[in-house]
Chains A and B, each alone.
Chain A
Amino acid sequence: MDPLQFLTTARVAVVAGKGGVGKTTVTAVLARAAIRRGLRVLVVELDGKPSLARLLPDVEVQQLSATAALAEYLDSHGLSRVTKRLASRGIIDVVATASPGIDDIVVLGKIKQLERSGLYDLVVVDGPAAGHAITFLLAAKSLLATVRGGPIASQATEVAAMLADPTRCQVVLVTLPEATPVNEAVETAYALEERVGVHLGPIVINAVDAGPLLDVDAAPVDSPLRLAAEFRNARRALHHAECRRLGEELALPQLQLPIVAGSQLSAAGVDALADEWAAS
């Protein structure tokens, strides 16, 4: 089965994973792969520093900020008069404090609006940082448990409906081929499925060193050649074992991205990574 199939079946792909696993890279490569399939793609960045526009110069990238979305939401629900009485930042604090998760709901509401707009075949969301993904996606359910009635509750209901429908939204988890990231990915996957009830698309393992094992005996013991080969083999064996373990613990299609030398990812680099997926 083609692991990229979901690009054409779901309309929103939320890319999630711990910090440092390469979420932004994966977002860019997924968007590029979708464009190559002829899809109309929108990329959404949440509150981050903008980096996707540089990686995808020809793609529409939209920044969504929780504060701005909440302000807009309150304005459109009759709070503009109140906003004038208190500093606008203050009123947002009050509302966000009184009703935790409301900022997540308005952001998800925005994403839902973009999904429903008919302008895009796929909206790729570079998800919230670190461990916030579960809280973020759980916001609709949490809010519905405490708030009954009112516009925010109906917003939460609509968001929950989008998250529960695999033809509308899927989560793409990103991890690295090492023990702790793999453990965390497994935990996150179960939490997302069981607690949020969102459908998981393929899991992406980033920065995999997948080359063949080297023949260390071709160089003398303790020589630089041999030490370097032993190191490389150890890394490759670890990556291989962790990819395999992830496959055993999570029955999800796997996509891999190769390790890229150097630190600077460019638009051309994203193209090259998308080539890898096109070839496989």
Chain B
Amino acid sequence: MTTSPVSLAAHLAAAEVLVCCGSGGVGKTTSAAALGMHAALLGRRAVVVTIDPAKRLADALGVPGGLDNEPIRIDVPGDGELWALMLDTATTFDGLVRANAADEEQAARILANGFYRNVAGSLSGTQEYMAAERLHALHNDPRFDLVIVDTPPTRNALDFLDAPGTIAKFIDHPLFKLLMMPTRRGMKVLNIAAQPLLRTIGKVVGGDVLADAVAFFQAFGGMETGFRQRADDVMALLHSDVTRFVLVASPRDDTIEEACYFAGRLADSNLSVGAVVMNRCTPTFGEPPARRPRGAAAGALYDNLVELRTMAATERSQAAALLEIRGVPAGTETTWVPTLPGDVHTLAALTTIRGLLFD
């Protein structure tokens, strides 16, 4: 491991997987899209995956019909390519069940299960696990040589990293184990609803729901090996040198705290932040004149310039200090991206952001 700072451009050139993380509302999706544009300029074949329910990437990329679970090619300059997709958790989960089921009958039984249908898309950790699963699949897809992931807001994004562990937890689940034990021993499955434990739980949460859940866990039997193997592969990919992590924040305490919390979690998993992108900084416009001009109008312009300069300087020093206090390694490169005068919802604006990040 080298200790000298690695630029955002160098990370982008070296990475096969680039994970953008940070809290919501900091322009993370926009950054991910701009990174993808730059990658295409460098001749890479990049795909941007968003799991942000806000579907903002489509706005910025000017995809009129919105993004889909399948990659859509975006028309951008450069020798490379830019593709984008919006993760559909339920469809991805269905695919994973079909791929890992012993036969069509098992797949059909799971896919038709009421608990699975209600829960597949919404169970906590499922979305993150499916994102990791998709990341892995796209990484192996010959159409692409770079996968850029726009993670959901921080707390969920942590699950995204933990997701392989989460699915293992789900397999190691007490209920799952309880139900699997008789089957593994080759015994006939007991009428589990009769077990006192399940009866008690059933009383509290309602029997129907539990019956479906039990049926789901039972139908799942035998698939855990495939799921676990996949989880291990994803974990190995996230931990390899081809995966780089970019923190995205804006110069406000709360968003930096959230981003840094994430940095801490990366460190806990022996991973590190490659670079920081600080969006929505107050722009500066050069030196003010030596003295405040006379006249109300010109004086107001002077005050405005000075105010913006003060805001920019305060933001920058506070943000840099906080990053350091919160354990982002000193020397991690921070790219300061000024706020644009208007909204970023066109390809042209995205091109401007790309320029601000790299030129």
Contacts and interface: CB of A to CB of B under 8 A. Distances in A.
A94 B201 contact: yes
A149 B23 CA distance: 39
Contacts of B310: 261
Contacts of B322: 263
A94 B118 contact: no
Contact of B201 (A21, A98, A131, A262): A98
B339 A235 contact: yes
Given A180-B59, A180-B345, A224-B285, A215 B206 contact: no
B183 interface: no
A135 B122 contact: yes
B283 interface: yes
Given A181-B25, A231-B285, A262-B318, A102 B339 contact: no
A91 B200 CA distance: 11
Interface in A92-106: 93-100, 102
B314 A79 contact: no
B265 interface: no
Nearest to A86: B174
Interface in B175-225: 175, 197, 200-201, 203-206, 208-210, 213
Contact of A152 (B169, B206, B258): B206
A225 B289 contact: yes
A35 B54 CA distance: 35
A150 B206 contact: yes
A205 to B, nearest CB: 14
Contacts of A216: 301
A262 to B, nearest CB: 5
B205 A102 contact: yes
Interface in A245-262: 261-262
Interface in B3-61: 23-26, 53-54, 56, 59
A81 B203 CA distance: 14
A90 B173 contact: yes
Dominant secondary structure at the A interface: helix
A238 B122 contact: no
B342 interface: yes
A231 B311 CA distance: 14
Interface in B284-335: 285-289, 293, 295, 297-298, 300-302, 304-305, 307-308, 310-311, 314-315, 318-319, 322
A95 B288 CA distance: 63
A82 B345 contact: no
Nearest to B311: A261
B314 A214 contact: no
Contact of B304 (A93, A146, A181, A214): A214
Interface stretch (B68-76, B152-160, B269-277): B152-160
A227 B174 contact: no
Given A99-B209, A181-B25, A184-B54, A94 B153 contact: no
A232 B308 contact: yes
Contacts of A184: 54
A161 interface: no
A173 B127 CA distance: 25
Contact of A178 (B286, B293, B343): B343
B89 interface: no
Q: B24, B154, B311, B339: which has the most chain A beta carbons within 10 Å?
A: B24
B337 interface: no
Interface residues of A, number: 69
Interface residues of B, number: 73
A77 B174 CA distance: 20
B119 A226 contact: no
B304 A238 contact: no
Given A90-B174, A130-B156, A214-B304, A97 B314 contact: no
Contacts of B26: 20
B254 interface: yes
B65 interface: no
A229 interface: yes
B119 A100 contact: yes
Contact of B54 (A95, A180, A227, A265): A180
A231 B254 contact: no
Contact of B200 (A20, A24, A79): A79
A228 B304 contact: yes
A179 interface: yes
Contacts of A135: 122
B130 to A, nearest CB: 16
A179 B102 CA distance: 49
B1 interface: no
Nearest to B118: A100
A49 B262 CA distance: 13
A133 to B, nearest CB: 12
B123 A179 contact: no
B64 interface: no
A18 B24 contact: yes
Nearest to B60: A180
Contact of B204 (A131, A152, A231): A152
B256 interface: yes
A74 interface: yes
B241 interface: no
Contacts of B251: 263
A147 B209 contact: yes
Contact of A130 (B153, B297, B300, B345): B153
Contacts of B98: none
B154 to A, nearest CB: 8
7 contacts: A100-B119, A150-B205, A225-B288, A226-B301, A228-B304, A261-B315, A263-B319
Closest 3 CB pairs of A and B: A20-B25, A19-B24, A234-B341
Interface of A: 18-22, 24, 49, 51, 74, 77-79, 81-82, 85-87, 90-91, 93-100, 102, 129-131, 135, 146-153, 176, 178-181, 184, 214-219, 224-232, 234-235, 238, 261-265
